[in-house]
Structure 1
């Protein structure tokens, strides 16, 4: 075999030998890439680690919402007001008995009576509240309530005691024309008989006073409060 032939054979053999450097690079890339099974196991482990965190975060959020709801309910909900709150009574007297509970014309030193004045007529009337007290009074409230029947309208009022000793109000309240005389602080009502009167127009004809009422609350310097009330004949 000539030298030329040997050279040709060597060249042909080398052309069919694998590129060793390229093969090593492919193997290294394959080893660096995780297998499908490995990737699956990694995802399963990640899911196993993430699940408790997700549950805890959900529970924490639910707990926060529950506490917030309880706080909102506690703040918004307030006790319902009483359906029929008691009527306020003058602080100077301190009694709380309703005049609609029947009649009580005597209590302690007090006696009272209600009547329609005989001078009333077919278009106008006067209702009198007569008070008798056996002791001087340092606190006194007289209330006259005229039911608002047809045409009832305030036309005035008077009392036998000095006008300067009392604060007077006359206004419509809850279906009544209400006159209220309140003794001013430092004034005294002497023992004896006193009259308080309210005057008003009404519809033509006779007027029924069955729903009219009066109430008197009083107290003396050395006595506890007393109250009398009733209606009109």
Structure 2
């Protein structure tokens, strides 16, 4: 193959999508000029072989470039595979103390290892009162919430609270909620309540005279190590 033909094929190969008809015409003209410069003997020797080989080589080059171009386009435009939706985060384990039940639902003073009672302390007077929640448990507890609810009758105002268990073992809150003065003792994580009898008391002022405790209530939720929860609740006679 001559340098001139190589140049023609190189120019055609460098085109992205070559014009096949135009290329063949250029090759034919180049071959004719080359044949005219040679003698009859050279033309007889090369004329029948060179032309088909050139045409096939040209078409093969054009076909290769076309397939390569289409392959590049296909790779560039291949869409990303769809992303899998993120797995939902596991929900937190439920607390050992279940607070879904209402503070009072009739009266249940015993459940599992728990027993409880609510009473107005006998030292209460016409201006001030103390309400006691007594808890008995036959097993140690690792979770405990004690809630005392004092109806906001005339003059009711918090004056303090106490419990027979260590104060540093509990989180204490006292606030008005939904028509009640609510005392809530919550056992801190890692602390324990031993089996036995324990008392939680709320103290408050009230209007002069006797006070009716019929709307007061308490609720206790507890759980022991490796055991399900238990709950007791009731009122004040």
User: Structure 1 stretches (4+) deviating beyond 6 angstroms?
Assistant: none
TM-score between both structures, scaled by the size of structure 1: 0.61
Match of 1:231 among 221, 232, 235: 235
Instruction: Determine the structure 2 residue equivalent to 1:200.
Output: 204
Query: Is the CA contact (8 Å cut-off) linking 2:104 and 2:218 kept in structure 1?
Result: no
The structure number with the bigger radius of gyration is: 1
Instruction: Determine the structure 2 residue equivalent to 1:97.
Output: 101
Instruction: Determine the structure 2 residue equivalent to 1:210.
Output: 214
State the shift of 1:223 in Å. Answer: 1.2
State the shift of 1:95 in Å. Answer: 4.1
State the shift of 1:196 in Å. Answer: 0.0
Query: Is the CA contact (8 Å cut-off) linking 1:93 and 1:217 kept in structure 2?
Result: yes
Question: Is the partner of 1:164 in helix, strand or coil?
Answer: helix
1:138-177 maps to which residues of 2 (within 5 A)?
A: 138-177=142-181
Q: Deviations over 1:132-167 (max 9, x none)?
A: 000000000000000000000000000000000000
Q: Deviations over 1:9-43 (max 9, x none)?
A: xxxxxxxxxxxxxxxxxxxxxxxxxxxxxxxxxxx
Query: Is the CA contact (8 Å cut-off) linking 2:141 and 2:225 kept in structure 1?
Result: yes
Question: Is the partner of 2:140 in helix, strand or coil?
Answer: coil
Instruction: Determine the structure 1 residue equivalent to 2:44.
Output: none
Question: Is the partner of 2:132 in helix, strand or coil?
Answer: strand
Which runs of no fewer than 5 residues in structure 1 stay unpaired? 1-89
Instruction: State whether structure 2 residue 126 is matched by structure 1 residue 122.
Output: yes
Instruction: Determine the structure 2 residue equivalent to 1:137.
Output: 141
Q: Distance in 2 between matches of 1:220 and 1:186?
A: 12
Q: Deviations over 1:39-87 (max 9, x none)?
A: xxxxxxxxxxxxxxxxxxxxxxxxxxxxxxxxxxxxxxxxxxxxxxxxx
TM-score between both structures, scaled by the size of structure 2: 0.60
Instruction: Determine the structure 2 residue equivalent to 1:188.
Output: 192
Q: Deviations over 1:169-205 (max 9, x none)?
A: 0000000000000000000000000000000000000
Check 1:95–1:154 CA distance in 2 against 1; reply closer, same or farther (3 A cut): closer
Query: Is the CA contact (8 Å cut-off) linking 2:142 and 2:224 kept in structure 1?
Result: yes
1:75-114 maps to which residues of 2 (within 5 A)?
A: 91-114=95-118
Query: Is the CA contact (8 Å cut-off) linking 1:95 and 1:226 kept in structure 2?
Result: no
Q: Distance in 2 between matches of 1:172 and 1:195?
A: 22
